[in-house]
Amino acid sequence: MSTQRAVRDVVLVDAVRTPFGKAGATGIYAETRADDLLVAAMREVMRRNPNLPAGRIDDVAVAATTQIGDQGLTLGRTAGILAGFPRSVPGQSVDRMCAGALTAVTNLASGIGVGAYDVVVAGGVEHMGRHPMGEGMDPNPRLIAEKLVDPEALFMGKTAENLHDRFPHLTKARADEYSLRSQEKTAKAYAEGTIQLDLVPVATRTAAAGWGLATVDEPPRPATTLEGLAALKTPFRPHGRVTAGNAAGLNDGATAAILVAEDVADELGLTKKARLVSFAFAGVEPEVMGVGPVPATEKALAKAGLTIEDIGLFEVNEAFAVQVLAFLDHFGIADDDPRVNPYGGAIAVGHPLASSGIRLMAYLARSFEAHPEVRYGLTTMCIGLGMGGTVIWENPAWTGTNDKDA
Q: Does residue 98 carry a catalytic annotation?
A: yes
User: Which residue type does 205 have?
Assistant: R
What are the percentages of helix, strand and coil residues in the chain, rounded to 5?
A: 40, 20, 40
Q: Does residue 351 carry a catalytic annotation?
A: yes
Q: Single out the catalytic residue among 127, 131, 164, 351.
A: 351
CB 163 within 8 A of CB 152: no
Q: How many Å apart are CA 216 and CA 218, to the nearest integer?
A: 6
Q: Single out the catalytic residue among 131, 164, 371, 382.
A: 382
Q: Single out the catalytic residue among 98, 131, 164, 371.
A: 98
Question: Residue 7 has what DSSP assignment?
Answer: P
Task: Name the nearest CA neighbour of 19 among 259, 232, 200.
Answer: 200
DSSP per position, 326-351: HHHHHTT--TT-TTB-TT--HHHH--
CB 100 within 8 A of CB 357: yes
Burial 178-214 (b: 16+ CB within 10 A, else e): bbbbbbebbbebbeeebbeebbbebebebeeeeeeeb
Question: Which residues are CB-neighbours of 346 under 8 A, at least 6 positions away?
Answer: 182, 248, 317, 318, 319, 356, 359
What are the Cα distances from residue 362, in Å, to 84, 147, 223, 285, 328? 23, 40, 25, 30, 21
Number of residues in the chain: 406
What are the Cα distances from residue 29, in Å, to 24, 26, 201, 206? 8, 8, 12, 8
Task: Name the nearest CA neighbour of 119 among 43, 34, 60, 189.
Answer: 60
Residues carrying an active site annotation: 98, 351, 382
